């Protein structure tokens, strides 16, 4: 926190209490004229001397959330006397002494950093280029507050809990929100790759480091591309395994997590611990048997986590309580349960997030490349509620954030496929997938690492020719080719069923019971026509339907989210108790 006057200790106390789940291994604080920093620690590297804040020799102090994976390599550029600890997070203090406000430029990792220079009376906030680690801020009469989660800012009482109706509508239609502005009127995001400079409680400068190379696909043969990909994947997974604590893997059995497992198997002498979720008794495709076969082929220890309808109804409010920046992605459900299981023995897991964006895995990329006469279409043209007649606002204003990103990318030199990938990396990735991963894991004091979201691996995938990304109807073509050689048990070219969570299947038998409760929610009533909401749930209970099922899930999510985060209903109850409280 930074302000015009001295930072108030009670505010730092509030931050430490609000963020304790993110760092159960310790806490620290720093206070100086006009600034205060607080940090809760999840100890991963340098368990003995890595407590924060970390201090430089020239009046600098730093707190950080995340990991700097190339800290060993960067340390060689400095005198050993420049460091007091073995912590990876001490490195930015050295690069600041050398590079000033550009201190984040050489960092390879995931991070949210606050660095205070007492001599210059300046404070810097930096976020990694892919936005893997979150960072939010709020301007108020006393200066600027910042934290890893919006709920910490709100808990101080200095930031009002008022929602932006435009962002609430965007959430319903997209299942996430775009851009700098969050759903809270007073809270902004530090954008991925941004470094903000603050003086006197005001933002005086912003600079941005792009996550993806700004160049068109390279001309390269398939054989040479496979060699480069192997080097990049092995390098990225190797540095993402740097830790002084045990680590594991979330294994779906799909292309991305299987590729990471193949690398881990080559790098580790002991078996990798791999966790897979399944939904017994539902029509959802069960990935556990395939994942088990993949794990066995790689010599990994396989652990299965069952997620049932009973658990869904009992624990959904607790899951949503962790998602303070709302993301109505049904993958929050299995991710939360996987994290709970993994956290019993581990502090770090590697995951496959980013593979679809970097290597062009989504079916929407394939349709995008078709001629409009053959089915090509604009991405995210339709919202989840289009055609249902439920929303009060039937316009396409909800799409303004997506359209703004499209206009920015239209001015780049990237080709059409790269622009689509970059569009997903701009908002869908940091504001949906990575929020889901961060909140669900950090709720259990577990760190998630994403080797495919790395400058080395990212460049290797993003700069491939289109024909090595999508070929013969196969998305992620080159990654599949690599996996076919390195872990053939993954069957990368076999027909795959898309990942799904059976939330609609769980909701349908109880849809009529939910109809009145959801329609009566104050958060829902502001955006939706209550009678239409009741009819939607009742009709879904009778007939089902994928479009209606998605809409019912999003409405249930938002009604619970509003009850917990806006109306402050406690989250220890089940779904129906929370809606009725």
Handedness of CA 348, 349, 354, 358 (dihedral sign): positive
Distance CA 289, CA 278 (A): 9
- For the chain, what is the mean pLDDT? 94
Say if residue 293 is exposed, middle or buried (CB neighbours under 10 Å; 0-12, 13-18, 19+).
Answer: middle
Strands 27-32 and 35-40: antiparallel
Closest alpha carbon to 107 in 120, 94, 122:
94
Mean pLDDT of all residues in 436-459: 97
- Tens digit of each residue's pLDDT (9 = 90 or more) over 517-576: 999 999 999 999 999 999 999 999 999 999 999 999 999 999 999 999 999 999 889 999
CA 147 to chain centre: 16
Q: What SS3 state is found at 136?
A: strand
Distance CA 362, CA 515 (A): 33
Residue 309 has pLDDT above 90, yes or no: yes
DSSP 535-548: HHHHHHHHH--HHH
- Tens digit of each residue's pLDDT (9 = 90 or more) over 483-526: 999 999 999 999 877 789 999 999 999 999 999 999 999 999 99
Residue 368 has pLDDT above 90, yes or no: no
Residues above pLDDT 90, as percent of the chain: 89
Check if the beta carbon of residue 578 is closer than 8 Å to that of residue 317: yes
7: pLDDT confidence band, cut at 50, 70 and 90?
Answer: low
When comparing pLDDT for 4 and 465, which is higher? Answer: 465
Span between the terminal Cα atoms of the chain, in Å: 34
Residue partners of 407: CB distance under 8 A and separation at least 6: none
For residue 205, list its beta bridge partners.
Answer: 197
- Tens digit of each residue's pLDDT (9 = 90 or more) over 274-308: 999 999 999 998 999 999 999 999 999 999 999 99
Among the listed ranges 72-81, 248-257, 363-372, 413-422, which one has the minimum average pLDDT value?
363-372
Residues above pLDDT 70, as percent of the chain: 97
Res 242: pLDDT: 95
Mean pLDDT of all residues in 191-210: 96
Res 115: pLDDT: 98
Rg over CA atoms, the chain:
23
Strands 247-250 and 273-278: parallel
Distance CA 352, CA 171 (A): 24
Q: Which domains does the chain have, with CATH numbers?
A: 2-208 (3.60.20.10), 222-373+413-490 (3.40.50.620), 503-580 (no CATH)
- Cα 64–Cα 70–Cα 74 angle in degrees, nearest 5: 95
**Helices 165-174/400-410 angle, 10° precision:** 80
Res 367: pLDDT: 81
Handedness of CA 445, 437, 171, 190 (dihedral sign): positive
457: pLDDT confidence band, cut at 50, 70 and 90?
Answer: very high
The order of strands in the sheet holding 301-306 is 301-306, 273-278, 247-250, 348-350, 447-449
Residue 321 has pLDDT above 50, yes or no: yes
For residue 35, list its beta bridge partners.
Answer: 2, 32
DSSP 549-561: HHHHHHHHHHHHH
Check if the beta carbon of residue 71 is closer than 8 Å to that of residue 241: no
Res 496: pLDDT: 76
pTM: 0.96
CA distances to 324, 341, 463, 468 from 476, rounded to whole Å, are 33, 30, 13, 8
CA distances to 45, 78, 479 from 73, rounded to whole Å, are 15, 10, 28
């Amino acid at each position: 926190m930074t302000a015009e006057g001295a930072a108030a200790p009670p505010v730092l106390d509030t931050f430490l209490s609000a963020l304790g789940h993110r760092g159960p291994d310790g806490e620290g604080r720093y206070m100086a004229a006009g600034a205060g920093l607080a940090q809760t620690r999840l100890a991963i590297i340098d368990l003995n001397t890595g407590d924060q804040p970390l201090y430089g020799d020239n009046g600098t102090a730093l707190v950080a959330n995340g990991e700097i994976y190339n800290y060993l390599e960067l340390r060689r550029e400095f005198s050993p006397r420049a460091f007091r600890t073995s912590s990876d997070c001490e490195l930015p203090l050295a690069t600041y002494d050398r590079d000033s406000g550009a201190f984040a430029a050489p960092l390879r990792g995931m991070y949210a950093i606050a660095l205070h220079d007492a001599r210059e009376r300046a404070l810097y906030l930096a976020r990694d280029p892919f936005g893997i680690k979150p960072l939010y801020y709020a301007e108020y009469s006393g200066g600027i507050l910042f934290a890893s989660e919006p709920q910490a800012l709100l808990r101080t009482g200095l930031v009002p809990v008022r929602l932006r109706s435009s962002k609430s509508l965007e959430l319903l239609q997209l299942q996430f929100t775009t851009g700098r502005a969050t759903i809270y009127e007073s809270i902004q995001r530090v954008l991925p790759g941004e470094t903000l400079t603050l003086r006197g409680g005001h933002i005086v400068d912003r600079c941005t480091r792009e996550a993806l190379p700004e160049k068109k696909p390279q001309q390269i043969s398939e054989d040479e591309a496979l060699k480069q990909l192997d080097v990049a994947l092995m390098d990225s997974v190797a540095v993402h395994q740097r830790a002084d604590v045990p680590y594991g893997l979330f294994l779906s059995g799909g292309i991305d997590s299987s590729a990471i497992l193949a690398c881990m198997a080559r790098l580790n002498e002991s078996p990798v611990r791999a966790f897979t979720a399944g939904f017994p008794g539902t029509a959802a495709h069960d990935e556990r048997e395939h994942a088990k076969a993949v794990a066995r082929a790689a010599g990994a220890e396989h652990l299965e986590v069952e997620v049932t309808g009973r658990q869904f109804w009992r624990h959904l409010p607790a899951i949503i309580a962790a998602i303070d920046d709302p993301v109505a992605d049904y993958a929050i459900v299995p991710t939360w349960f996987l994290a709970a299981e993994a956290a019993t023995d581990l502090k770090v897991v590697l995951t496959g997030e980013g593979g679809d964006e970097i290597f062009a895995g989504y079916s929407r990329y394939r349709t995008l490349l078709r001629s409009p006469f053959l089915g090509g279409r604009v991405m995210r043209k339709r919202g989840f509620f289009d055609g249902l007649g439920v929303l009060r606002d039937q316009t396409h204003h909800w799409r303004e954030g997506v359209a703004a990103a499209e206009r920015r990318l239209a001015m780049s030199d990237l080709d059409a496929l790269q622009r689509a990938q970059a569009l997903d990396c701009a908002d869908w990735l940091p504001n949906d997938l990575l929020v889901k991963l961060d909140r669900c894991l950090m709720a259990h004091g577990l760190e998630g690492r994403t080797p495919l979201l790395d400058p080395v691996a990212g460049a290797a995938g993003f700069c491939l020719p289109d024909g090595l990304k999508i070929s013969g109807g196969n998305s992620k073509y080159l990654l599949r080719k690599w996996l076919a050689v390195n872990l053939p048990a993954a069957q990368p070219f076999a027909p795959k069923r898309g990942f799904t969570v059976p939330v609609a299947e769980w909701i349908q038998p109880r849809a009529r019971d939910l109809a009145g409760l959801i329609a009566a929610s104050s958060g829902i009533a502001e955006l939706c026509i209550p009678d239409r909401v009741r009819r939607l749930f009742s009709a879904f209970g009778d007939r089902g339907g994928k479009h209606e099922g998605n809409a019912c899930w999003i409405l249930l999510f938002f009604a619970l989210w509003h009850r917990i985060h806006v109306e402050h209903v406690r989250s220890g109850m089940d779904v129906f108790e929370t809606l009725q409280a």
